[in-house]
Amino acid sequence: MNVHISYKLRKTPDLEKEINHMVEKLRKRLQVFRPELLHLKVVVEQVSPRKAVTVSLNLRLPSGQLAAQRSAQTAVAAIKSGFDDLLQQTTRHKDLLRSSHKWARRRSERSRPEAQVPFEQTLASVRPSTVSAEDIRCYVNANLSRLELFVERELYFREAAEQMLPDSITKDEVIDEVIAGALGDGGDKPDKLGLEPWLYRLAIHAIGDLQARSSDNVVSVHLEESARVPNVRASDEPELQFHQPDEMLTRESVIADRRASTPEDIASSDEINTLVEFALAAVQPRDREAFILHTVEGFSVAEISAITDRKPESISASIIAAREHLRRSPLIASRFGNRTTLQSTGTD
């Protein structure tokens, strides 16, 4: 910004310091404009020692001209008042420029609408500088440990939630993908203030991409291979205390069968069935029979109708009656409280 200051009174260090401070404050408000297109003229004058000091400000912008004039008993007070007025005018002027493309203009029906663009897209505005390869390199060199810690947490949470297989993606693979994506030509680079969140966003996307690739290439498991950790010690005595020399533990023996129930699941299911049987002892036999066939055996209402030679409406009524009895049963309430495990078993 080109600044011209004219003093028509005795210039003091305090006066000059105040003007420089206010000029810098105004300069920060005008960062959206090109500096070479800004011109500020400041005139500080005092006609006589007994009269007030007058400060006149004239700011010429690419989009218009602003002026302010204030008087006070002291030069510092006049400068503050004048620059405050000019700052308020600058703020209102910038707001008008931002919404200039939305102004409603009167046009005739035959005239074509004039194309309007926001001020930020004009030649007079200054666009924020985007990050460069050197900015990314400096940030990674200084904050690599923080980025690695974030990636480790993300991988741990996804593995704990069973969203991905353990050790299917390593931390180094994700970091390599992040740096390659940041230094690559593809994608829009953010400004310097948004560098850190942008890299964290690339890390999350890299984990998702690597997870999709690993799910496409499923590693085969050799069932005949040994599942034991290779013995790299000089002696086999500690291992032979618990295992026979001819004993072979293959990978086939350690693959979990997700379809099979654990002993805890079987015991819990047996306990629930026993409680239900005791609770249904006072229910009508027809209702108990329909309820057991529907909830325990898993038959539909139509299938139960074919089994018991009853109408579907009668079977649905029996299931509802047995369920209501279970909800009121003190035996079930003492085991499960106010909850009931049979709420999801609706009629078909």
Q: Give the residue extent of every domain in the chain.
A: 2-100, 133-215, 263-336
Residues 6+ apart with CB under 8 A from 126: 31, 32, 33, 34
Alpha helices in the chain (DSSP H): 13-29, 75-98, 133-160, 171-183, 195-216, 237-240, 263-279, 285-291, 301-308, 312-328, 330-336
> What mean pLDDT do residues 340-345 have?
44
Tokens of 51: 């009269």
Asked if residue 249 has pLDDT above 70, the reply is no
Three-state DSSP class for 58?
Answer: strand
**What confidence score (pLDDT) does residue 25 get?**
86
pLDDT at 317 over 90: yes
CATH homologous superfamily of 2-100 equals Ribosome hibernation promotion factor-like (3.30.160.100)
The CA distance from 90 to 22, in Å, is 13
* Cα dihedral value 57, 60, 66, 67, nearest 10: 20
- Asked if residues 93 and 61 have their Cβ atoms less than 8 Å apart, the reply is yes
Kindly report, residue by residue over 179-205, the tens digit of the pLDDT: 888 887 666 666 655 677 878 888 888
d(CA 288, CA 280): 6
Write out the CATH class of domain 263-336: mainly alpha
> pLDDT of 66-108, one tens digit each?
888 888 888 888 888 888 888 888 888 888 877 755 555 544 4
- Supply the pTM of this predicted model: 0.35
CB 251, CB 223: distance < 8 Å = yes
When pLDDT is averaged across residues 153-169 and rounded to a whole number, the result is 82
Which pLDDT does position 109 carry in this prediction? 46
Look at 43-57, 75-89, 245-259 and tell me which has the smallest mean pLDDT.
245-259
